[in-house]
Structure 1
Amino acid sequence: MVGIDIIKTSRMQEMIEKFGQKALQKFLHDDEIELAKNYKTAAGFWATKEAVSKALGTGIGSECSFFDIKIYKNEKGAPKLSFSKKLIENFQLLDASLSITHDGDYAIAVVTLQSNISKKLLSF
């Protein structure tokens, strides 16, 4: 399963300027806020969580909230994903890959999820 999202980083900058720390607390865990050194990183984290929800086919909502997804960094500083027990069980998640990139005023995240749920391929 693949999900992708893009966000204009100035949108995140405006949210933070308007609402301060509360803007980040709406979609990030405390330890993620510590990792988000600036509005561009925060925008990448937003795009990541949206991309995960798209890969699951749910969007952000009751089946998959921002707080069911957690971003951390490995020892080399690469972003990684972890999930709530609810997501792991409901979607039978096995593995995840994440790539975040920034270019100019945009942040883009691509997520791939591996699951035990077999999807029927449709033919025509």
Structure 2
Amino acid sequence: MIGIDLIKTDRMKRLIERFGDRGLQKFLSENEILLIKNHRSAAGFWAAKEACSKALGCGIGSECGFHDIILSKTPKGAPVIDLSTRVKEMFSIQSLSVSITHDGDYAIAVVALQKS
């Protein structure tokens, strides 16, 4: 399954200006917030989580929340995506891949997942 999401980075800029880290905590863990460099990278993380929920076929909600989708980075800075054990088991997920890119005023993410 594949999911994709697009977000205008200015939307994330306004969220951070208005709420700061409190706004980021709505969709990111403390470890994820430490990886955020600016509003553009925050927008990329938002898009990745939305794309993952679309690949699962459920969207963000009771079956899979923002905090069930876990983002990190490799030592070279490439994004890595994982799921909470509960969601992995519920959807029988075998593997996940993510790609995040930015172009102009937009951040785009694609997530591919394989079910067992």
Q: Which TM-score tier does this pair reach, normalised by the shorter chain?
A: over 0.9
Return structure 1 stretches of 4+ with deviation > 3 angstroms: none
Which residue number corresponds to residue 82 of structure 1?
Answer: 82
Which residue number corresponds to residue 95 of structure 2?
Answer: 95
TM-score (norm 2): 0.98
Q: C-alpha displacement at 1:74, in angstroms?
A: 1.1
1:91-120 CA-partner distances (Å, limit 9, x unpaired):
11111111000000000000000111xxxx
Which residue number corresponds to residue 68 of structure 1?
Answer: 68
1:52-103 CA-partner distances (Å, limit 9, x unpaired):
0000110000001000011001122110011101111001111111100000
Which blocks of at least 5 consecutive residues in structure 2 are unaligned?
none
1:31-58 CA-partner distances (Å, limit 9, x unpaired):
1000011100000000000000000110
Instruction: Give the alignment of 1:3-22 within 5 angstroms.
Output: 3-22=3-22
Which residue number corresponds to residue 104 of structure 2?
Answer: 104
CA distance in 2, matches of 1:81, 1:41: 15
- Give aligned pairs, total: 116
CA distance in 2, matches of 1:47, 1:57: 15
TM-score (norm 1): 0.92
Aligned CA RMSD, in angstroms, stands at 0.6
1:5-54 CA-partner distances (Å, limit 9, x unpaired):
00000000001101111110000010100001110000000000000000
Which blocks of at least 5 consecutive residues in structure 1 are unaligned?
117-124
Q: SS in structure 1 opposite 2:114?
A: strand
